[in-house]
Structure 1
C-alpha cells in the first residue's frame, strides 16, 4: 500500500488538533479557497482514514483517555449527589474526606474568613462550593445513549396514532 503524501500526513496531524477538517487542511498547506472540498476528499481517502484511525488509537493509548473513560467522567458529574459533601450532622466534610466521584463533581471551592460586626468580632468561615453543571452532563449522557432519538420516535408514534384516530 502506498504511503501518504507530506500534505496528507500533515492533514492527519492537524485534524487531530481540533477535529475540524477544513481548518486542518488549511494548516496542512491546502488553499483556503478549496480547503473545504479538499478536506472532504481527504476524509474519504482510505489511506487517510487508516492513518487517522491509527493516530487516534495511539493518542488514546498514550493519554489513557478512551471513550469509555470520558463517558464515565460525564456520568460522575451527571449522577453526583451533593449530600456526600456533608457528614450526618450536616457539617461540611474536608475535601480529603470526599470520595473520588464527589470530588470530581466539584468545580471550585471558595473559603472566606469573616468577622462578625459587633463588640466581640468573632471570626467565622464561609465556604462556597460550586459543582459542575449537572444538567449539561446529563444531556451529554442522554445524547450518548440515544435517549433523545427514542423520545422523538415516541412523539412521532403518538402523532401517527392521533392522525389515525382523526381519520
Structure 2
C-alpha cells in the first residue's frame, strides 16, 4: 500500500479536528474552489480512510471511549425519570429534592436554573426561590440506543429523476480535467 503524501497526512490531521472534510481540505492546502471535491475524493481513498479510522481509534482509546460507555450514558438519559428528582409534599404539591442525587441521575440533567426574587411589595413581599430543571432528550437517547444495539435499522432509498434508476457516467481523468478547464 503506498504511503500517504504530506498533504494527505495534513488532511487527515485536520479532518480529525472537526470532521469537516471541506474545511480540512482547505486547511491542508487544497484550493478553496475545489476543496469540496478534493475532500470527497480524499475520503474515498482507502489509505486516507484507514488513516482517519486509525486516528479516531487512537483518540477513543486515549479518552477511554468505548461503545459500552456510550451505551451506558445514553441509557442514563433514556431511562431517566422525573420521580428521581421530585418528591410530593404533604399537600401533594411537588418539590425538587436533589439531596440524594446519584452521579448517574445527574448525568441525565441538561440544565438546572435557580431564580431568587421577591414576590409582592412592602410588608407583604416574600422571598421566593424558583428551581427549574431539564433532562436531556429522552426520546433522542432511546432512538440512538436502539440504533446502536441494532433494534432499529435506518434504510434510505435512493432513486434517480422521477423515481427512475440513478444515471451513472464513466469518464477518464483527462475528460474530467478537460471539462474543468472549459468550465
Does the pair score TM above 0.5? yes
Q: CA offset at residue 81 of structure 1?
A: 0.6
Number of residues paired by the alignment? 150
3-state DSSP class of the match of 2:114?
A: strand
Corresponding residue for residue 155 of structure 1:
none
User: Would you tell me which structure has more helix in proportion to its own residues?
Assistant: 1
Corresponding residue for residue 110 of structure 2:
107
Within 2, Cα distance between the matches of 1:27 and 1:132? 35
Contact 1:77–1:134 (CA under 8 A) maintained in structure 2: yes
Within 2, Cα distance between the matches of 1:91 and 1:35? 55
Change (3 A) 1:29 1:123: same
Unaligned residue ranges in structure 2 (runs of 5+): 157-183
Within 2, Cα distance between the matches of 1:66 and 1:23? 28
Contact 1:82–1:102 (CA under 8 A) maintained in structure 2: no
Corresponding residue for residue 140 of structure 1:
144
Please list the CA deviations of residues 46-68 of structure 1 after superposition, one character each: whole Å capped at 9, or x if unmatched. 32222222211111111222333
Mapping of residues 9-28 of structure 1, within 5 Å: 9-28=9-28
Normalised by the length of structure 2, the TM-score is 0.67
Unaligned residue ranges in structure 1 (runs of 5+): 153-167
Corresponding residue for residue 93 of structure 1:
97
Please list the CA deviations of residues 27-79 of structure 1 after superposition, one character each: whole Å capped at 9, or x if unmatched. 21112233233223322323222222221111111122233323332222222
Q: Does residue 131 of structure 1 match 2:135?
A: yes
Which stretch has the larger CA shift, 64-73 or 54-63?
A: 64-73
Change (3 A) 1:3 1:83: same
Q: CA offset at residue 8 of structure 1?
A: 0.6
Contact 1:77–1:132 (CA under 8 A) maintained in structure 2: yes
Change (3 A) 1:88 1:32: same
Change (3 A) 1:149 1:3: closer
Within 1, Cα distance between the matches of 2:17 and 2:86? 41
Please list the CA deviations of residues 82-125 of structure 1 after superposition, one character each: whole Å capped at 9, or x if unmatched. 1101347554223x521222211111212222334363534332
Within 1, Cα distance between the matches of 2:35 and 2:118? 62
Within 2, Cα distance between the matches of 1:109 and 1:28? 42
